[in-house]
């Protein structure tokens, strides 16, 4: 958002500060809905807003549509988003776009002070808090915050209806983006180094008459954290699979260093499908690549196939292998034990997320879970969004 705001300051035609904030918010809305809006388009849109074209809403809509729509299917969606954002019309119709999975943010169609803050890129109190978060001083409503907090703690299998599922998916997608931002900042801090590079410092001092004003440091080449996620898509995970697939989609878009796999009775490498920005196209490709979803589970055989065909290519010394499964394996525990042992030798950490951990009275008594646990660094729940958010701090320490 901050980058978009800085781009809308043209050199010739330049809109006012309020209009720049509104444009930055609209650009962020379009990007979240899957539109390919770059720096050049944003700068051109700023010039349009400062030109006579902006005097007539219909002319402005047509001009911005021609500027921002790069595909045939974008045109109808653009008209809905434009009407909702700029005119406050068609709010229910725009909300259906979010429910279908095309728009990742539940704050997309806010107006008033909350929209101003979002457009200006102001910080939020929590990555999982929505609109209305602020001090309870009686001057504003906190219904949005409480709704988001309740949704974050609700078991995913108890989500009621497509609208609630869409809101939960939006929170998970926002969480994936925050996780990536946090890990990137950590990598940059670590890359500063502490050892002085004398040769480079002397070379730089030549331009200052030999005075070492500009110090250079030896630094390790940063090796970013890589996430390799293996999702159990068997019948016993059916209540959670659709949500986790969307969370995997957000991870694949946010983390360049990531790989995604689905397994049931066999393993499928699905990273290329999940890197499709349009969730509908991503899920269509995923359905073709991972036929057999909802059947039995052979975790040991699937992980053995992963070791045989993929592990050497996708795992390095800063890789976290994340397995999302309930641990119900129909295969031999010895095979799963051997596969987990092989993964353990290659990667930095193994995280096993089991949605059943959040159930009252659950014990990891399944044979597959018992075979895998000795090789796992973190065994945690994944039954709601808060449990996924807790994973962020663990990853930041790797």
pLDDT tens, position by position, 110-141: 333 333 333 323 233 333 444 334 443 444 44
- Distance between CA 315 and CA 326 in Å, rounded? 23
- 86 class by beta-carbon count within 10 Å (0-12 exposed, 13-18 middle, 19+ buried): middle
Claim to verify: residue 192 and residue 328 sit in the same structural domain = no
Claim to verify: residue 388 and residue 276 sit in the same structural domain = yes
Q: How many domains does the chain fold into?
A: 3
Highest mean pLDDT among 11-25, 50-64, 247-261, 330-344: 330-344
Claim to verify: residue 267 and residue 189 sit in the same structural domain = no
Q: With a cut of 60, say whether residue 104 has pLDDT above it.
A: no
Lowest mean pLDDT among 4-18, 109-123, 246-260, 331-345: 109-123
Claim to verify: residue 244 and residue 373 sit in the same structural domain = yes
Claim to verify: residue 239 and residue 208 sit in the same structural domain = no
Claim to verify: residue 51 and residue 103 sit in the same structural domain = yes
* More confident position, 71 or 322: 322
Give the single-character DSSP code of 222: P
Q: Is residue 343 in some structural domain?
A: yes
Question: What's the whole-number mean pLDDT along residues 327-341?
Answer: 95
Cα separations in angstroms, 36 against 30, 77, 162: 8, 13, 26
What confidence score (pLDDT) does residue 14 get? 67
* More confident position, 78 or 181: 78
Claim to verify: residue 391 and residue 275 sit in the same structural domain = yes
3-state helix, strand, coil in the chain (%, to 5): 55, 10, 35
What confidence score (pLDDT) does residue 147 get? 64
Structure tokens at 106: 């539940």
Residue 49 structural domain: 1-112
Q: What is the pTM of this model?
A: 0.58
* More confident position, 289 or 315: 315
What confidence score (pLDDT) does residue 267 get? 94
Lowest mean pLDDT among 89-98, 142-151, 208-217, 319-328: 89-98
The residue out of 163, 194, 218 marking a domain boundary is 218
Q: How confident is the model at residue 17 (pLDDT cuts 50, 70, 90)?
A: confident
Partners of 187 in the β-ladder: none
Q: With contact defined as beta carbons under 8 Å apart, do 290 and 261 qualify?
A: no
Claim to verify: residue 238 and residue 212 sit in the same structural domain = no
What confidence score (pLDDT) does residue 148 get? 66
- β 349-354/378-381 pair status: parallel
- Distance between CA 27 and CA 369 in Å, rounded? 46
Q: With contact defined as beta carbons under 8 Å apart, do 366 and 331 qualify?
A: no
Claim to verify: residue 326 and residue 352 sit in the same structural domain = yes
Question: What's the whole-number mean pLDDT along residues 245-273?
Answer: 91
Q: How confident is the model at residue 11 (pLDDT cuts 50, 70, 90)?
A: very low
What confidence score (pLDDT) does residue 295 get? 76
Question: What's the whole-number mean pLDDT along residues 283-302?
Answer: 83
Q: Is residue 162 in some structural domain?
A: no
């Amino acid at each position: 958002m901050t980058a978009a705001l800085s781009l809308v300051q043209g050199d010739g035609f330049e809109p006012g500060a309020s209009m720049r904030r509104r444009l930055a918010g609209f650009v962020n809305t379009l990007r979240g809905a899957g539109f390919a809006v770059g720096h050049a388009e944003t700068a051109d849109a700023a010039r349009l807003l400062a030109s006579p074209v902006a005097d007539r809403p219909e002319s402005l809509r047509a001009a911005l549509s021609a500027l921002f729509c790069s595909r045939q299917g974008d045109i109808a969606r653009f008209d809905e988003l434009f009407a909702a954002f700029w005119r406050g019309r068609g709010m229910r119709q725009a909300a259906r776009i979010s429910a279908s999975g095309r728009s990742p943010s539940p704050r997309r169609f806010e107006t008033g002070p909350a929209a101003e803050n979002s457009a200006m890129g102001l910080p939020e109190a929590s990555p999982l808090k929505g609109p209305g978060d602020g001090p309870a001083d009686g001057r504003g409503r906190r219904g949005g915050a409480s709704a988001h907090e309740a949704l974050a703690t609700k078991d995913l299998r108890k989500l009621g209806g497509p609208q609630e599922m869409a809101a939960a998916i939006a929170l998970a997608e926002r969480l994936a983006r925050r996780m990536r931002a946090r890990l990137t900042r950590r990598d940059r801090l670590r890359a500063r180094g502490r050892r002085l590079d004398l040769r480079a410092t002397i070379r730089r001092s030549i331009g200052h008459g030999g005075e070492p004003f500009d110090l250079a440091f030896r630094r390790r080449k940063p090796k970013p954290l890589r996430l390799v996620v293996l999702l159990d898509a068997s019948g016993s995970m059916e209540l959670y699979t659709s949500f986790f697939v969307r969370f995997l989609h957000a991870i694949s878009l946010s983390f360049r260093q990531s790989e995604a796999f689905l397994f049931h009775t066999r393993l499928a490498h699905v990273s290329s499908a999940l890197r499709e920005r349009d969730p509908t196209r991503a899920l269509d490709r995923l359905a073709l690549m991972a036929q057999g979803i909802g059947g039995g589970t052979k975790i040991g055989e699937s992980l053995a196939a992963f070791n045989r065909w993929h592990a050497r290519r996708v795992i390095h010394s800063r890789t976290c292998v994340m397995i999302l499964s309930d641990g119900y394996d129909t295969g031999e525990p010895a095979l799963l034990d051997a596969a987990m042992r092989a993964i353990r030798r290659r990667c930095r950490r193994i995280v096993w997320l089991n949605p059943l951990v959040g159930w009252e009275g659950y014990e990891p008594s399944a044979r597959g879970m018992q075979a895998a646990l000795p090789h796992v660094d973190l065994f945690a729940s994944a039954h709601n969004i808060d449990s996924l958010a807790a994973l962020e701090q663990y990853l930041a320490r790797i």
